[in-house]
Each structure stands twice: as structure tokens, then as C-alpha cells.
Amino acid sequence: MSGFAPDIALSALFQRNAAARPGDCALIAADGRYTYAEAANAVAHLAAQIASFGLPARSSVALLLPNGCELVLSLLAVMQCGHIPVPMPVAWRKSDLVRACREAEAAALITTAHFSDERLPELAAKAAIEVFELSFPCAFGAGLPDGILPLSISGEAVTVAASPSPGIATLHPSPGGVSFSLHGDEELLAAGLGVMLAADMRNGDSVVSAVAPSNLAGLGSGFVPWLLCGGTFSLLSDIPEHIDASGERCHVVAPAPLLETMCAAAAAPLASAIGVHFAGTAETGGVDIVAERVVDAFAVAEICLIALPREDRAQPRMIPLGHIQAGNGAAAPVVVETSISESGRMLVRGAMIAKDAVGESGWCDTGYASVSSGPSGFAILPPDEIVAIGALRFSFPDMERRILAAALVSSVETIADPVLGSRLVIRSERPAETSRALLDAGLPRIIASAVRKADNARTAAG
């Protein structure tokens, strides 16, 4: 590591918290509740099972898991073994999973039978048949298909010597499908520290997150701040009717368009409300949020996460030009530095940026356009070819090509959505048949559900 942060691994932060407060609640989600002692035991037990595979050091391990305890425990266990966890969306179907596993050169895959009506183990088994490197497809739960190795979280802990992990790999859309960015501990700590200090998170604070730790935004806004603070990490799969924020300082993390709705469920005033922006700078509510601070966290692809506390509750701040520090004061560390290229694109460099993403100029070109630039900073827009539907991002040209190859459609377009950021609209003369064809071709359900009846007049005009 450089001088930004002490030479400490994320897995070591977890072990520190477990030793300091073993009886305190560490994790809460729909799939369980764990004290720090229970979570540490589960991580050790799971790490022993992964170590028994005999994978080469620094192997990639795909995680096809929903936002819950199994995902967090698996992240920690894979890292403890010295491997690279690679979270993947549970919304994917076989073709996407196969492409991603090949790109990541995944040697193992961990999924679960404990997820709604989706049969993720069957999906993993089908993917393993087509991906030569994927030797160890595994799953939590019972009734697993042939070829899937059973994993368990509960059981006797076996000590596994901790090995340094290169970090966590996250995926991002590219013209050919997906690519991966490897984030080392220093880069993840820079992202998490920026959010933690912007939100004034303190030792023992609770974090409630509706953003899964499966991308840089989810890792930096929830997972890493939880490790730094040592409180309770609550993971949500749906907007709750009630958030118990009484008796402790609580921070809520949600996609920016859903932040007000999420915070309205809090039973007591919040320490902070953190809205994650996946589609660039957008106007979002915040006036009615009952919290000490409202923070905007701008996810710039899988490159960086810029957290800024709001000065005006009504709208997000502009992104400053130059050094962005974690906290206030001259001694506060710089987590990222921004600039604007001659063509008007956002450039970044600093502790949060992966070294292989930096060009010869010493800057990383994000591909994001800077707009409304002025003395107070600038707003950002993602590249036109990248579409964000909530936290799901994909290359529009690539998705359009796959849709047109799978079914006869009249048009494919994106429209703005006040909640999701964008929506995909697919026009077809036979919507039901088209939806089935898209599913049969392996496209995600959220894509197949975007099919609408074609407007005849519109089709004729086209």
C-alpha cells in the first residue's frame, strides 16, 4: 500500500471487530442474523471449505448471491483464503453468467438455494458445463442438482492461515459484454473512508443498506464503512416498512431516487442518509429526510465513488475540481483528485483509482461528460452507450444487438425514469412471444419484461 492508509487488509478489520465485540450484532438480513463471534466462526468454517479445493493463489471465485449475510460472509471467506471474490448479479441468466465467468477466469462459483423462487444452483450447474475453468461450482442449501458441491456456514470452525487477497473484482459493461476492475484494499478503503467521513459515521454506528456490496458503490458506501466502524450491517432486499433506528446512530444507504422512501421507514431520526447515484448527477429529494446529514455518493462506473455531504437539502452538490478529501482540515487525506479534459470529460487520479486504469498522462479518463461546470464544480453524465436501470448497468449497443438477434422487434430504446434512472422499452407486434424468446435466449428477466405492444402508426412511420 502507499501512504494513504495503514497496511491493513479488509479481512483483518473484520477480525479486529470480532475480537473487540464478539457478542455485538454484526449482520442482519433476510437470510439470518449474526453476532460478531458467530460471523467470525461462519467465515472461518466457510474459508476452510474453500481452502480444501486447493485452488492456486489469487484465483477468481464468482459469487452469485443476493444482498444478504451469505454474500458478506462469502466475500470475507474468499478474501481470507487469498483469492479474489467476483460478485455477479442474481438477475443474470445463463448466457451472461457464462460470459462473465469466462472473462473473470473463475475457478469456483458460490451461489445459494435460499433465494426466492429462483433456482440459482441449476443456473450455476449449467454455466459450469460451458466454462472449462469453473471446476468448483458450489451452493448453500439443500436439494442441490448433480455437479454442485454443498457449502455450509454453520459448523465447527477450522483455523485457516490468512493469505493476502489482491482485492475484490467488480464488473462493468463494455462493448463486448462485461469487463472487470480489481479493487485492492487501499482503493476500497479510500472509497469507504470518503463515505464514512462525509456521513460522520462513528465507532459502533449501524449501517442499513439497500445497495448490495457487489459493485464499487455498494462496497464503498456500506461494506467498507461497516468494517471501519464495527457496528451492525443490515442488508435489505426490498424497501422496508420499518427501520429500527432507535438506541444507536443509524445510517441508511439507498439508490438516490429511493432515498426519501427508504428514510421514511425509519422509526427515529437518522445520523445520515446516503443516496447512491448510478446514472450521473440527478436532482433528487432530500428536504423531508429526517437525518443529521444527507450525503450524495456518485458512482463513476467502477472507477471511483465520490461522497459529498449536501449543503442545500434540496439538491446534490456539484463535484469539486481538484482534491477531494475524506473529512475536513488540512490533514484530511485526499481520496481522489478530479480534472476535466480538453474534450470535456471527467478525469480522476488518486488513492481510490486502480493503478492499471491510469493512462500515460497520469489521469484516468472516466468517459463521463462534465456538464454545467463552473466555480462550484461540475455535474456528470455517463457515456451515452452505458444504460443504468437502478444498479444494473449495461452497454446499450451490446444489449440491442442481443435483443435483435433473439426476436423480431420494432424498436429498442431507453427513456428516463424518475426512480430507476432509465428504463428500457422494447416494441413488438407480439409482446408475449418476444418476451419468451428473449428469456429463451438467456437475457435477464428485467429485459424480457420491458417488451411493449408496438404502436402501428409509429411502426409505419419508422
Helical H segments across 219-273, by residue range: 224-229, 259-263
In sequence order, the β-bridge partners of residue 128 are none
For residue 391, give the amino acid letter: A
Q: How far is CA 91 from CA 35, 40, 118, 144, 321, in A?
A: 29, 29, 9, 20, 37
Choice between 275 and 374, residue whose per-residue pLDDT is larger: 275
The CATH number fitting domain 184-381, selected from 3.40.50.12780, 1.10.1240.10, 3.40.50.300, 3.40.50.720: 3.40.50.12780
Per-residue model confidence (pLDDT) at position 81? 94
Report the distance separating Cα 213 and Cα 171, nearest Å. Answer: 12
The residue type at 229 = C
Q: Is the pLDDT of residue 458 over 50?
A: no
Question: Which pLDDT value is given to residue 461?
Answer: 39
**pLDDT value at position 462?**
43
Q: What is the pLDDT of residues 199-210, one digit of tens each?
A: 999 999 999 999
Nearest CA to 248 out of 221, 274, 271 is that of 271
Q: Where are the domains of the chain?
A: 10-182, 184-381, 388-461
What is the rounded CA–CA span in Å between residue 165 and residue 43? Answer: 15
More confident residue, 393 or 126: 126
For the ranges 188-197, 304-313, 424-433, 443-452, the lowest mean pLDDT is seen at 443-452
Residue 120 has phi, psi (to 5 degrees) of -65, -35
State the pLDDT at residue 457: 41
Which class in CATH covers the domain with range 10-182? Answer: alpha beta
Mean pLDDT within 436-449: 80
Average of per-residue pLDDT across 60-74: 95
Q: What is the pLDDT of residue 421?
A: 64
Tell whether the model's pLDDT for residue 2 goes beyond 50. no
Lowest model confidence (mean pLDDT) among 130-144, 331-345, 407-421: 407-421
pLDDT more than 70, % of the chain: 89
* Chain mean pLDDT for the chain: 86
Nearest Cα to Cα of residue 171 among 236, 56, 85, 74: 85
- As a whole number, mean pLDDT of residues 313-329 equals 81
**Helix segments in 199-338, DSSP class H:** 216-218, 224-229, 259-263
Residue 157 has pLDDT above 70, yes or no: no
Strand segments (E) across 278-383:
291-300, 304-309, 322-325, 334-340, 345-349, 364-374, 377-381
pLDDT score of 460? 40
Contact 186, 165 (CB under 8 A): no
Q: What is the average per-residue pLDDT within 131-152?
A: 93
Residue 459 has pLDDT above 80, yes or no: no
The answer for residues whose C-beta is within 8 angstroms of residue 427's C-beta and 6 or more apart is 409, 410, 411, 412, 451, 452, 453, 454, 455, 458, 459
What's the one-letter identity of residue 81? C
pLDDT above 50 (res 412): yes
Q: How confident is the model at residue 274 (pLDDT cuts 50, 70, 90)?
A: very high
Quote the pLDDT of residue 175.
67
CB 399 within 8 A of CB 422: no
Question: For residue 184, what pLDDT band results from cuts at 50, 70 and 90?
Answer: very high
> Which carries the bigger pLDDT value, residue 199 or residue 371?
199
pLDDT at 207 (0 to 100): 95
Q: How far apart are the first and last CA of the chain?
A: 56
**What does the alpha-carbon distance between residue 272 and residue 284 come to, in Å, rounded to a whole number?**
16
Range 158-169 average pLDDT:
82
The whole-angstrom separation of Cα 294 and Cα 248 is 18
* pLDDT one-digit tens code per residue, 30-46: 888 999 999 999 999 99
Q: Quick one: what percent of the chain has pLDDT higher than 90?
A: 48
Could you tell me how far CA 310 lies from the centroid of its own chain?
Answer: 23
- Bridging pattern class, strands 421-428 and 451-453: parallel
CB contact at 8 A, 130 and 98: yes
Q: Can you give the pLDDT at residue 92?
A: 80
How confident is the model at residue 420, as a pLDDT?
65
- For residue 398, give the 3-state DSSP assignment: helix
pLDDT at 37: 95
Cell numbers describing residue 461: 412511420
Nearest 5°: the CA angle 336, 341, 344 is 110
Same fold, 184-381 and 388-461: no
CA 282, distance to chain mean position in Å, is 19
| pLDDT beyond 50 at 9 | yes
Domain 388-461 in CATH 2.60.40? The answer is no
Alpha helix ranges (H) inside 238-325: 259-263
- Provide the pLDDT for residue 330: 65
pLDDT exceeds cutoff 60 at 95:
yes
